[in-house]
C-alpha cells in the first residue's frame, strides 16, 4: 500500500485508537475530574503520539521524519507512565490499564518498524 497522506500510516491509525481510548476513559470516569492537570497531561500525551506522526509526515527528509516518529514513540511511553499513576490512584482498574497499555505498545512497535523502514529507504534524504 502506498502512503500518500498521513492518515494512510498504520502507526497513526493505531495512535488514533490509543487517543480515543484515553479520551473515553477520562470522559467516562469522573475520578479524573478531581485531578484536572493529570487528566490534561494524559490526554495531551495521546494527542501528541498522533500529531507527531502527522507533523513528521510533511518533513522534507526521512531523517527529520524519524525525529518526529521518535517524539511520537516517547509520547506513547508517557501514556504508559500516566497509566501507572491512574492505576495507583485508583482512577482506572487493571483491565482498563492493560487495554490502553497494550495499545500503546502496539503503536510503539509500529513506529519502530516504520523508523527501520525509513532508515533503509532512499525515498527522501
Q: What is the pLDDT of residue 60?
A: 84
Work out the percent of the chain whose per-residue pLDDT is above 90: 90
Q: What is the pLDDT of residue 96?
A: 97
* pTM of model > 0.85: yes
pLDDT beyond 50 at 125: no
Rounded mean pLDDT of 40-66? 95
Could you give all domains of the chain from N- to C-terminal order, each with its CATH number?
A: 7-120 (1.20.1440.60)
pLDDT beyond 60 at 124: no
Q: Which long-range contacts (CB under 8 A, 24 or more apart) does 65-68 make?
A: 65/118, 65/124, 66/115, 66/118, 66/119
Rounded mean pLDDT of 60-87? 97
Amino acid at each position: 500500500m502506498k502512503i500518500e497522506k498521513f492518515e494512510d500510516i498504520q502507526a497513526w491509525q493505531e495512535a488514533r485508537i490509543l487517543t480515543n481510548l484515553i479520551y473515553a476513559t477520562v470522559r467516562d470516569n469522573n475520578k479524573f475530574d478531581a485531578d484536572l492537570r493529570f487528566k490534561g497531561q494524559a490526554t495531551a500525551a495521546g494527542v501528541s503520539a498522533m500529531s507527531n506522526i502527522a507533523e513528521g509526515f510533511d518533513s522534507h527528509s526521512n531523517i527529520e521524519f524519524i525525529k518526529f516518529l521518535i517524539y511520537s514513540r516517547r509520547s506513547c511511553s508517557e501514556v504508559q507512565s500516566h497509566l501507572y499513576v491512574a492505576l495507583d490512584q485508583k482512577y482506572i482498574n487493571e483491565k482498563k490499564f492493560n487495554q490502553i497499555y497494550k495499545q500503546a505498545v502496539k503503536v510503539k512497535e509500529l513506529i519502530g518498524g516504520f523508523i527501520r523502514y525509513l532508515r533503509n529507504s532512499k525515498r527522501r534524504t
